[in-house]
Amino acid sequence: MNGAFSLARLAALLAKEFIQMRRDRITFAMMLGVPLMQLVLFGFAINNDPKALPAALVATSNDHFTRAMVSALETTGYYRFDHVATSAAEAEALIQSGEVAFVVTIPADFATRMARGNRPQILIEADATDPSASSGAISTLGTVAQQALLRELGLEAAAQRSAAGSLEVVVHRRYNPEGISQYNIVPGLLGVILQMTMVMMTSMALTRESERGTMENLLAMPANPLEIMLGKILPYLVVGAVQVAVVLAAAKLLFGVPFAGSMTLLMSAILVFVLSLVLLGYTISTAARSQMQAMQLTFFFFLPSLLLSGFMFPYRGMPGWAQVLGEIFPLTHFLRVIRAIMLKGADFAAVSFEIGALVVFILAYAALALLRFRRTLD
């Protein structure tokens, strides 16, 4: 063997590596796709000060003071009144289901008390399950309310400034009055941990068989694709159950996260979520040719899911296109379900849409996995 350095041999090795890189399209896509994805998501989709938050108005009168108050809140850019509730019960259902982030209640005698110079009140209930999402909107309330009434009083503002200054804005931070971030983060961590482990482990289910040379034996068994799929994913449900028990115990004992809702509903939702994850991982395993490719595809799915689901950044702070993109990830729907059940005490009706979306993911992933597996039988 010639020990002297040779540019010709080095060129041949470099050519070989570039050819191999071109053949490994998944790795090449990761090299270009991940930086571009991070630039787009962090540059355009991430916003820690969300605006145009959906709000519901509860008001029995339509006087000019009420209209001025609503207009002033909308002018701040934080509030978007797209719901008008006829009762407190209707408003409660809206905020519990997550359809609105705020409920603004203006009493029927608001204008009368304002004209008499009494102490008028408005009540603003904020969904504080994510403290960072509502803090900016809440901080503007006092100043905006005072200015709105002073403008509405017009020429009489100077004489009645003391009455307007006595306006009381009562803010109720619902579900997390102290603004404890752990109440928002820890339930979300359950979804993140399950996604990271369940998808990654099951994504190697079939690729491991191929790399070890036992795929032929698996295909020769008298079992159909559905039986093979169930045999691969059901053991990981047990692993997921252990992780769920550990995280929920830590949430209660270490962080004091409240469990306001039904434990049966919570565990059922977690089971549906875990099943969607293991089926997603199994689907990835039918597309990957090696365990390395399976890990790469898992990471390519995990990164946008983590950023667009509402776990790290307020979901409503993202632009419309990013919110639409976030809907295609199971984690997005699971975070809404688990926070609603644990923190708000939501019932099945309040989270039925999100659970239904997870069921759709299960059916789609199962169908795709079975279709892909049949192609590998050739």
112 and 190, same structural domain?
A: no
306 with 201, same domain? Answer: yes
Average pLDDT over residues 258-271: 94
Using the structure block, give the residue that is written with the tokens 């404890």: 180
Q: Is the pLDDT of residue 157 over 60?
A: no
| 228 lies in the same domain as 118 | no
Give the chain's end-to-end CA distance (angstroms, integer): 44
If asked whether residues 246 and 277 sit together in one domain, one would say yes
In a domain, 48, yes or no: no
In this structure, what token pair is assigned to residue 92?
């409660």
| pLDDT of 327 over the 60 cut | yes
Question: pLDDT tier at 67 (50, 70, 90 boundaries)?
Answer: confident
Tell me whether residue 331 is in a domain: yes
Question: In which band, very low, low, confident or very high, does the pLDDT at 163 lie, cut at 50, 70 and 90?
Answer: very low
Cα–Cα distance between 200 and 202 in angstroms, integer? 6
Mean pLDDT of the chain: 82
Would the pLDDT of 376 be above 60? Answer: no
- What's this model's pTM, rounded to 2 decimal places? 0.80
Per 3-state DSSP, the chain is made up of helix, strand and coil in percentages (nearest 5) of: 70, 10, 25
Q: Are 186 and 164 found together in one domain?
A: no
pLDDT at residue number 359: 97
Lowest mean pLDDT across 121-125, 136-140, 203-207: 136-140
Whether 74 is covered by a domain: the verdict is: yes
Cα distance between residue 192 and residue 109, in whole Å: 48
Does 175 have pLDDT greater than 70?
A: yes
Average pLDDT over residues 303-332: 88
Q: Cβ contacts of residue 158 below 8 Å, gap of 6+?
A: none
Q: Is the pLDDT of residue 342 over 90?
A: yes
Residue 76's CB: how many other CB atoms inside 10 A?
A: 14
Q: Count of CB atoms within 10 A of residue 93's CB? A: 18
Determine, yes or no, domain membership for 45. no
Is residue 95 over pLDDT 80? yes
Chosen domain end from 129, 157, 174: 174
Q: Is the pLDDT of residue 58 over 60?
A: yes
Read off the amino acid at residue 243.
Q
Confidence of residue 375 (pLDDT cuts 50, 70, 90): very low
Mean pLDDT of 242-262: 92
Mean pLDDT of 79-89: 87
- And the tokens for 287? 């597309």
- 150 and 221 in a single domain? The answer is no
23 occurs within a structural domain:
no
Number of domains in the chain: 2
Q: Does residue 144 belong to any structural domain of this protein?
A: yes
Which residues constitute the domain of residue 283? 182-375
What the block records as the tokens of 349 is 């009706």
Same domain, 337 and 275: yes
Is 80 exceeded by the pLDDT of residue 151?
no
CATH number (domain holding residue 107): 3.40.1710.10
Containing 357, the helix (H) or strand (E) segment is helix 348-375
Q: Which pLDDT belongs to residue 247?
A: 92
Helix (H, G, I), strand (E, B) or coil at 181: coil
